[in-house]
């Protein structure tokens, strides 16, 4: 059997510690080799969770010895995504970048151009494509269970009235904090994956909590080229949560509640190689049909591990990476337009997404 591919993980905060590290460790053919973090507490966490991992506090150490790794995963704060990815590409190392790919669409396009010119693989961790409820909706749409889809409603809502310290709540230039970059990067990507290119966008973006420096409540309306309307909500100040997904068709509708279970499982130390990973109990199933004639539909198991399984296959066999980075640039373009729409209070045409 071929030796495991050696992975260098840049950053050991929420994204690196909770998502990337355990998913890498659970993927056959991959080995978490190196973790970059300067924070003493995070270094100790990494050492306890992965005793054999190499710890470094300077990214230049990785670029000086690129042959020691087979892939770099950028799980740093948003402002560092492009600089770290460019350094990895310059070293000839394939790169996974956590979402969003870049702070601006221009930076994202330039990064893709550089990866193409160098012939080095680049992909983006859009893990919510492997949420169980999203996979269920995709199946129902593909199988025609809803008929012609009219409207897609999707929510990432939370009740977090107290502001937590950290870069996600910072308004410093280049941080790309706020709900649209954090949660909208998932919701917009999912909508476009389901229903294709967007022709028009309208958004309402607000700061609702006292002392909030960045948007913590947003609504985005997308009009897709095929006529579907996607209505997307994201908020940190929702005292009663709405449906996670509601899809209205001319034959039936599908509604589900509650977030995908994988993030909570990862927070609690679970791994995708454990039995029953990503499954929800029957009482959590969404319902399909019309009022008065509803039936529960089994939720497809969530499968975040599929992302890294496809990364491993691409690096070994030359196949496609799991996410085309151009998709993620299109998402950043829509986020930029959403901010502009909210400021101007108008519906904007979409010409590049």
Query: 72, 92, 125 — which closes off a domain?
Result: 125
Domain that holds residue 96: 5-125
Query: 125, 152, 167 — which closes off a domain?
Result: 125
pLDDT, mean of residues 80-95: 98
Model confidence at 2: pLDDT above 80 = no
Residue 327: inside a domain, yes or no? no
| 293-351: pLDDT as tens digits | 999 999 999 999 999 999 999 999 988 999 999 999 999 999 999 999 999 999 999 98
| 236-249: pLDDT as tens digits | 999 999 999 999 99
According to DSSP, residue 237 is labeled B
Please tell me whether residues 118 and 137 are part of one structural domain. Answer: no
Give me the residue label for tokens 């901010």. 339
Residue 313: inside a domain, yes or no? no
Please tell me whether residues 80 and 153 are part of one structural domain. Answer: no
Task: State the greatest distance between any 2 C-alpha atoms of the chain, in Å, as a whole number.
Answer: 65
pLDDT, mean of residues 273-291: 96
| 255-270: pLDDT as tens digits | 999 999 999 999 999 9
What is the Cα–Cα distance from 226 to 198, expressed in whole angstroms?
9
Percent of the chain scoring above 70 in pLDDT: 99
Reported as half-sphere exposure (CB side, CA atoms, 13 A), residue 291 has a value of: 0
| pLDDT class of 165 with cuts at 50, 70, 90 | confident
For residues 270-306, b (16+ Cβ closer than 10 Å) or e, as one string?
bebeeeebbebeeeebbebbeeeeeeebebbbbbbbb
Spatial strand order of the sheet with 149-157 comes to: 293-297, 286-290, 253-256, 245-249, 149-157, 229-235, 217-224, 198-206, 348-349
What is the Cα–Cα distance from 324 to 122, expressed in whole angstroms?
8
Residue 311: inside a domain, yes or no? no
What pLDDT sits at residue 172? 84
Residue 324: inside a domain, yes or no? no
Model confidence at 96: pLDDT above 90 = yes
Total domain count, the chain: 2
Report the chain's mean pLDDT, rounded to a whole number. Answer: 96
| 182-215: pLDDT as tens digits | 999 999 999 999 999 999 999 999 999 999 899 8
Model confidence at 170: pLDDT above 90 = no
Task: Residue 22: give its domain's CATH number.
Answer: 3.40.50.720
Q: 262: exposed, middle or buried (C-beta count within 10 Å: 0-12, 13-18, 19+)? A: buried
* Residue ranges of E strands in the chain: 5-10, 30-36, 54-56, 71-74, 95-98, 122-125, 149-157, 198-206, 217-224, 229-235, 245-249, 253-256, 286-290, 293-297, 348-349
Task: Residue 189: give its domain's CATH number.
Answer: 3.30.360.10
Model confidence at 1: pLDDT above 80 = no
| pLDDT class of 353 with cuts at 50, 70, 90 | very low
According to DSSP, residue 311 is labeled H
If you write DSSP's letter for every residue of 326-347 in order, what string do you get? HHHHHHHHHHHHHHHHHHHTS-
Please tell me whether residues 51 and 71 are part of one structural domain. Answer: yes
Model confidence at 134: pLDDT above 90 = yes
């Amino acid at each position: 059997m071929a030796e495991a591919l050696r992975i260098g993980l840049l950053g050991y905060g929420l994204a690196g510690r909770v998502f990337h590290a355990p998913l890498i460790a659970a993927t056959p053919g991959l080995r978490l080799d190196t973790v970059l973090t300067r924070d003493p507490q995070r270094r100790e966490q990494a050492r306890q969770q992965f005793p054999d991992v190499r710890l470094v506090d300077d990214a230049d150490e990785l670029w000086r010895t690129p042959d020691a790794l087979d892939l770099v995963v950028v799980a740093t704060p948003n402002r560092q995504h492009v600089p770290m990815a460019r350094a990895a590409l310059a070293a000839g190392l394939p790169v996974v970048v956590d979402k969003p790919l870049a702070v601006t669409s221009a930076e994202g396009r330039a990064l893709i151009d550089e990866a193409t010119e160098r012939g080095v693989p680049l992909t983006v961790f859009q893990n919510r494509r492997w949420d169980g409820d999203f996979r269920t909706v995709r199946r129902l749409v593909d199988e025609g269970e809803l008929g012609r889809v009219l409207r897609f409603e999707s929510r990432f809502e939370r009740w977090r009235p107290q502001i937590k310290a950290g870069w996600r709540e910072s308004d410093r230039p280049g941080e790309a904090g706020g709900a649209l970059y954090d949660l909208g990067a998932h919701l917009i990507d999912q909508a476009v994956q389901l229903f294709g290119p967007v022709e028009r966008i309208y958004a309402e973006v607000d700061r609702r909590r006292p002392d909030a420096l960045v948007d913590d409540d947003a609504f985005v309306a997308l009009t897709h080229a095929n006529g579907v309307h996607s209505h997307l909500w994201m908020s940190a100040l929702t005292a009663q949560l709405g449906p996670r997904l509601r899809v209205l068709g001319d034959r039936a509708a599908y509604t589900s509640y509650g977030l995908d279970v994988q993030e909570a499982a990862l927070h609690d130390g679970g791994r995708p190689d454990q039995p029953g990973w990503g499954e929800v109990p029957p009482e959590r199933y969404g319902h399909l049909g019309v009022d008065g004639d509803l039936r529960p539909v089994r939720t497809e198991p969530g499968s975040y591990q599929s992302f890294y399984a496809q990364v491993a296959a691409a690096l070994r066999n030359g196949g496609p990476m799991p996410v085309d980075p151009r998709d993620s640039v299109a998402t950043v373009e829509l986020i930029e337009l959403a901010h502009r729409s909210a400021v101007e209070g108008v519906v904007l045409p979409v010409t590049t997404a």
